[in-house]
Amino acid sequence: MALKKGIKQLVAEAMSKITTLSLAEARAKLGQPGVQFVDIRDVRELQHDGTIPGAVHAPRGMLEFWVDPDSPYFKPVFGGDKQFILFCKSGWRSALATAQLVEMGVPHVAHIEGGYTAWQEAGGPTQAHPRKPG
């Protein structure tokens, strides 16, 4: 099957439209008021590898629904005038997700270069993701 666009092209196009923060830039924003880190990885990834302290988990499949105030799935964490910093494992999913939020009109959104893997390798702070009982 021949595709019109492969994932590499989709990510490259997204990267040309979005703000990418270096690890140092992202780390400097950690814990700042008005900044919300958003982990878009699958919950199994969070349970296995942990997450960035203070990050909210918004699964990639629900992100746009949770961000849109007109959606029945809207989450208040996405209200207000915050800067949202998205991340996934390697930066590909977060690039696509960030481009989608830019397209939706979210004013202050970026993603982390290299994703959570690069964050961990650089010694960025992490924490275990709490498992829900049951």
- Residue 89's nearest CA partner among 129, 131, 133, 42 is 42
pLDDT digits (tens, 9 = 90+) for 24-61: 999 999 999 999 999 999 999 999 999 999 999 999 99
Q: What total of structural domains would you count in the chain?
A: 1
CATH code for the domain of 46: 3.40.250.10
pLDDT digits (tens, 9 = 90+) for 80-96: 899 999 999 999 999 99
- Residue 26's nearest CA partner among 133, 131, 111 is 111
DSSP string computed for 115-133:
HHHHHHHTT---BPPPPPP
Domain span at 101: 10-121
- Answer whether residue 127 is part of any domain: no
Prediction pTM value: 0.94
**What six digits make up the tokens of 13?**
């196009």
Please name the amino acid found at residue 66.
W
- Answer whether residue 67 is part of any domain: yes
- Answer whether residue 74 is part of any domain: yes
- Answer whether residue 84 is part of any domain: yes
Strand ranges of the sheet holding 35-39, from the earlier edge strand across to the other edge: 19-21, 109-112, 83-87, 35-39, 56-57
